[in-house]
Amino acid sequence: MRVFSFINRVIHAHSTPYKLLALFSVSGGGLVAFSDSQAESGRHGVEPSQKESKKKLVVLGTGWAGTSFLKDLDISSYDVQVVSPRNYFAFTPLLPSVTCGTVEARSIVEPIRNMIKKRSGEINFWEADCLKIDAANKRVFCQSNLDANVVGSNEFSLEYDYLVIAVGAQVNTFNTPGVLEYCHFLKEVEDAQRIRRTVIDCFEKAVLPGLSEEERQTNLHFIIVGGGPTGVEFAAELHDFVQEDLVKLYPSVKDLVKITVIQSGDHILNTFDERISSFAEQKFQRDGIEVLTGSRVVNVSDKFINMKMKSTGEVFSVPHGMVLWSTGVGARPVVKDFMEQIGQGNRRVLATDEWLRVKGCQDVYALGDCATIDQRKIMEDILTIFKAADKDNSGTLTMDEFEDVIEDILVRYPQVELYLTSKHLPDVTYLLKDAQGNEREEVNYEEFKSALCLVDSQAKSLPATAQVAAQQGAYLSRCFNIREQCETNPEGPRLFRGSARHQFRPFRYKHLGQFAPLGGDQAAAELPGDWVSMGHSTQWLWYSVYASKQVSWRTRFLVVSDWGRRYIFGRDSSRI
């Protein structure tokens, strides 16, 4: 106790720079780091008159996007209020590890109030659900999710000048009958805890006296619907939990356990490099994990899951003890209602422009899993771009005229750069060469249009990952920080319909790679530069990256100690 007291005194005696951690990460998940100090000396209480002059900024959600936005936000110009049904930030990439006790639930969560208190209390947090967004009157209606016996009203509303929607998404069931009633999901910490209890229950049921072998096999058949990163990682974690821990505790049923992964596509991990997908399938085959590709779930009951083979149309039933549904995400009810208000009711997800502004709604921003960027196509503006570049109105573009707008084109339309990379072209001027590969002195409109007509094929939606959400949060906070400066000195690309410029540079996602833990202390990694790594060494890289990406020293210490405890003592099988 004396040691910890001494450390605590030393930490609080030193200034902010000594207590700030800078982290670097190369994987898919994004970075959120907070200083362990109190706010800078200049940030003390805000006078009422100052607060009244501030713009009201309401943030919905405390996930990757919302937390990353708050981390870097300069709150001197905004009255910030945060609303979320959870009073903590969860490191969601480790949720599969929580399901089997490799990592404890409290090791991956950091209380939001611990984070905002380091900003001198200038950020207010309310633990509540947002029920409705009234875009016309700039107000959000909320309801506390606390117990009903708490004294006082549970409902309240907040006005806003700016609204940031970062509520995440819910699991997409594709309206499959029985999924909501009989399947587990893995989106929240509570989901992981329920799965952990269910796994133990299945084993306890299987060893009860009086059961037939068929009943025991049914109880120990674990089915994962969805062969993406979450489903594959859970299957790997469950296999390790069974083989390393549970078979020692339940030796009588060790040969009856079965794990099945159902994937509608032709391969699992189909968003990864095909080398990783193939490696994962081969490893699962060696581990005895069954992979059913080309299969679609028709319905789920309490005892059976019914599937249809795409190739043959055959429908068959499989008994199960537990089903995990991990097949993508969909919009939450509050977001769906908001989309109806602003004319986006026919969409599956909330659409924003390249600056993360919600289309059809002023002063509202959306980021993370709840939204998607509707990237403008270059062919929609091709004539405008040509006319803006053709300064002498000659009807043709010289190379010098084209080079004057190249930088603005690359910034405004990121698909151009992606297309050049896919075609291994060094710069955009190569697109204007003739069929024989010779340079042209000038091009007319039709030749210019033909040169860029295939570029929009690279305009793709961003994945719903923590990495994307964290980068969007950091980008948007920067825009808010420099808003006043950019009103007089815009930094964005040229507006081709006039001489002005966009206020900010559009959001540009930088893919830093992604991991896929495959069990047995093996993992696969896909990193920038077409680098693919697989095996035991990659697992240690995964450990180091995920430890570094924890949001505080407390969670970092807890996660690393959990990994060490698992190696020494194994996983805990208590049902608590």
Give pLDDT, residue 26.
38
Q: What angle is formed at CA 327 by the lines to CA 323 and CA 329, rounded to 5 degrees?
A: 125
In this structure, are 342 and 413 located in the same domain? no
- Taking the C-alpha atoms of residue 19 and residue 24, their distance in angstroms, rounded to an integer, is 16
In this structure, are 350 and 391 located in the same domain? no
In this structure, are 332 and 351 located in the same domain? yes
Residue 446, in any domain of the structure: yes
How many Å is the maximal CA-CA distance in the chain? Answer: 91
Per-residue pLDDT 10s for the chain (576 aa) are: 444 444 454 444 444 443 333 333 333 344 444 434 333 333 344 444 455 688 999 999 999 999 999 998 999 889 999 999 999 999 999 999 999 999 999 999 999 999 887 665 589 999 999 999 999 999 999 999 887 667 778 899 999 999 999 999 999 999 999 999 999 999 999 999 999 999 999 999 999 999 999 999 999 999 999 999 999 999 999 999 999 999 999 999 999 999 999 999 999 999 999 999 999 999 999 999 999 999 999 999 999 999 999 989 999 999 999 999 999 899 999 999 999 999 999 999 999 999 999 999 989 999 999 999 999 999 999 999 999 999 999 999 998 999 999 999 999 999 999 999 888 888 888 888 887 778 888 999 999 999 999 999 998 899 999 999 999 999 999 999 999 999 999 999 999 887 789 999 999 999 999 999 999 999 999 998 889 999 999 999 999 999 999 999 999 999 999 999 999 999 999 988
- Taking the C-alpha atoms of residue 263 and residue 273, their distance in angstroms, rounded to an integer, is 17
In this structure, are 440 and 401 located in the same domain? yes
In this structure, are 313 and 229 located in the same domain? yes
Share in percent of the chain as helix, strand, coil (round to 5): 40, 20, 40
pTM above 0.85, yes or no: yes
Residue 260, in any domain of the structure: yes
Which among 453, 455, 472 has a CA at the least distance from the CA of 464? 472
Residue 408, in any domain of the structure: yes
Give pLDDT, residue 430.
87
Give pLDDT, residue 23.
33
Give me the residue label for tokens 């990994």: 563
In this structure, are 361 and 382 located in the same domain? no
Number of structural domains in the chain:
3
- Residue 430's CATH number: 1.10.238
First to last CA, the chain: 29
In this structure, are 322 and 195 located in the same domain? yes
CA distances from 282 to 147, 163, 348, 439, 575 (A): 49, 47, 35, 49, 33
* Helix runs in 211-273, H state only: 213-219, 229-241, 247-249
- Residue 210's CATH number: 3.50.50.100
- Taking the C-alpha atoms of residue 88 and residue 98, their distance in angstroms, rounded to an integer, is 16
Q: Rounded to 5 degrees, what are φ and ψ at 482?
A: -110, 20
Q: Among 262, 293, 327, give the residue marking a domain's end.
A: 327
Residue 566, in any domain of the structure: no
Residue 19, in any domain of the structure: no
Residue 306, in any domain of the structure: yes
Q: Look at the alpha carbons of 114, 116, 118, 120 in this order and tell me if their dihedral is positive or negative.
A: negative
Range of the domain at 130: 53-172+328-375+461-510
- Taking the C-alpha atoms of residue 181 and residue 274, their distance in angstroms, rounded to an integer, is 35
In this structure, are 228 and 318 located in the same domain? yes
Beta strands 315-319 and 396-398, pairing class: unpaired
In this structure, are 199 and 319 located in the same domain? yes
Residue 11, in any domain of the structure: no
CA distances from 187 to 47, 90, 169, 432 (A): 40, 10, 9, 47
In this structure, are 116 and 162 located in the same domain? yes
- Taking the C-alpha atoms of residue 504 and residue 486, their distance in angstroms, rounded to an integer, is 7
In this structure, are 305 and 339 located in the same domain? no
In this structure, are 209 and 304 located in the same domain? yes
Residue 517, in any domain of the structure: no
